[in-house]
Amino acid sequence: MTTSTASAAPREALSHEAKRMRDEYHSADVVIVGAGIFGCAMAYALGNQGRSVILLEKSMKQPDRIVGELLQPGGVEALEKLGMRDCLEEIDAIKVFGYDVIYYGEEVKISYPQVAGDSSIREKAKGIEKGRPEGRSFHHGRFIQRLRQKVLSNPNVSVVEATATDLVRCEWTDQILGVEAIRQGEPDAYFGGLTIIADGYNSKFRKAFRTDAPISKSKFWALELIDADLPMPNHGHVLLSDSAPILLYQIGTHETRALIDIPENLPSASLAAGGVKNHLTNVVVPKLPARVRPAFTAAIARDRLRSMPNSFLPATTNKTPGLILLGDALNMRHPLTGGGMTVAFNDAVLLSELFDPAVIPALDDHAAVLSAMRTFHWRRKNLTAVINILAQALYALFAAEDAQLRALQQGCFEYFKLGGNCIDGPVGLLGGIIRQPFVLFYHFFAVALLSIWLYIVRGKTVLLPVRALGSVGVFFKACQVLFPYIFAELRS
């Protein structure tokens, strides 16, 4: 297969009339709805192939979101392949070298694993071990604006500020021909041989093509801390205790994002108990490192509270002629591990390879496109299945709700303390560096077996027989955590 040349300079559009067709007749090879993470990446990649692209976005103002602020090393690598690495510059992005996991006050450093040979995700930075890949964290809105500027520089892409309202269908074949939209208050329409819907987690078009819906059992509530004294700079912080996890990571020179997971119907966050602010003040603050509490308390008093649902949605194969759903409209996982943007950029890389003009000359060849989408669905799983399953499984452990899950949570932390491959493997999977589902399976059940051993031996001697019997429940719980998400990834 001919690989994509997305990182090269844009090729001239296949037709010299392409720009006039976009401007006057609103017609292109492809119409993309949504100039977010995936939409920008896909528009730029297809434009670089010489495709004529119309990218629709309801508002080109800088977005103000509380997630999509940490890009794992595997996402940085994909951004490089797309020729968009420079979008990480001039936005006050912070280098990320790994994680600091704090379990009831005890810390363990989890660095991204060393990468052998030359790698585009590797940067030799002063004070950092050679060969260690890096992620980046930043204000989401600043990054989005840089991506949009990059797309606007592509001569084969026209960006239009308009709100897509409906799909245009062929009356005889029911295939999708484009979208209806509202532009400057007036109805309009945009046509393409292929329409890509990338309108995010709350997609207005998804329900017309899928019978399932995103599952959300908790929300991340966000604060922005100013000049917080983090225990381990240039690392994401995961705080584990007897309540849901807390995330801390720097997103600018002076700003740190705090994300507090609050499950549905949590009594301490109910209106009767004083609401979310009461939960943050009385439950969360005491669990924070003492050095972080002043900045966190100040943020509670200063910030408006915002939240985002933590959603899970497995991917399905796109089967509609003329249309494909991608990005969060297609597939979501819990944002605990910060894998969403890494998935999106890698999807754009893979799809640009499958859509290379040498393979599919015209994107209105619906049979060829649908065949490519079947290939895409399964080939992407070496990375996305790992990130999706890991995100859901880790959240189940980190937000442990019963004795068996708490045993697995403790076992996970003790596993990290062993160091070596017990760190490199899991964080390599999380960072999009290791793309082997079997490695995830191996480490998860290694954690489960260690959890069982600790569950048995750390109790009173007289209770050994009882705890040995109870360990069966720990193993069963591990299977309950992992296998539903494996089965979800095996669906077509």
pLDDT of residue 466: 75
pLDDT of residue 491: 82
Confidence label for 5 from pLDDT (cuts 50, 70 and 90): very low
pLDDT tens digits for range 281-330? 999 999 999 999 999 999 999 988 999 999 999 999 999 999 999 999 99
Distance CA 26, CA 419 (A): 56
Give how far Cα 458 sits from Cα of 13, 52, 422, 467, Å.
67, 64, 21, 9
Confidence label for 67 from pLDDT (cuts 50, 70 and 90): confident
pLDDT of residue 465: 78
Please give the helix or strand (H or E) that residue 147 lies within, else none. helix 140-152
Distance CA 375, CA 188 (A): 34
DSSP letters along 381-424, please?
A: HHHHHHHHHHHHHHHHHHT--SHHHHHHHHHHHHHHHT-THHHH
pLDDT tens digits for range 433-466? 999 999 999 999 999 999 999 999 887 766 677 7
Confidence label for 131 from pLDDT (cuts 50, 70 and 90): low
Mean predicted lDDT score pLDDT of the chain? 92
pTM of the model: 0.92
**What number is the average pLDDT over the span 160-178?**
95
DSSP letters along 35-104, please?
A: -SHHHHHHHHHHHHTT--EEEEES--SPP--SSS-EE-HHHHHHHHHTT-GGGGSSS--EEE-EEEEEET
**What number is the average pLDDT over the span 29-48?**
98
pLDDT of residue 10: 58
Domain boundaries in the chain? 16-95+134-212+313-384, 215-311, 387-490
More confident residue, 221 or 1: 221
Please give the helix or strand (H or E) that residue 141 lies within, else none. helix 140-152
CATH superfamily of 16-95+134-212+313-384: FAD/NAD(P)-binding domain (3.50.50.60)
> Exposure of 4 by Cβ count < 10 A (0-12 exposed, 13-18 middle, 19+ buried)?
buried
Distance CA 215, CA 484 (A): 13
Distance CA 51, CA 303 (A): 44
pLDDT tens digits for range 316-373? 999 999 999 999 999 999 999 999 999 999 999 999 999 999 999 999 999 999 999 9
pLDDT of residue 343: 98
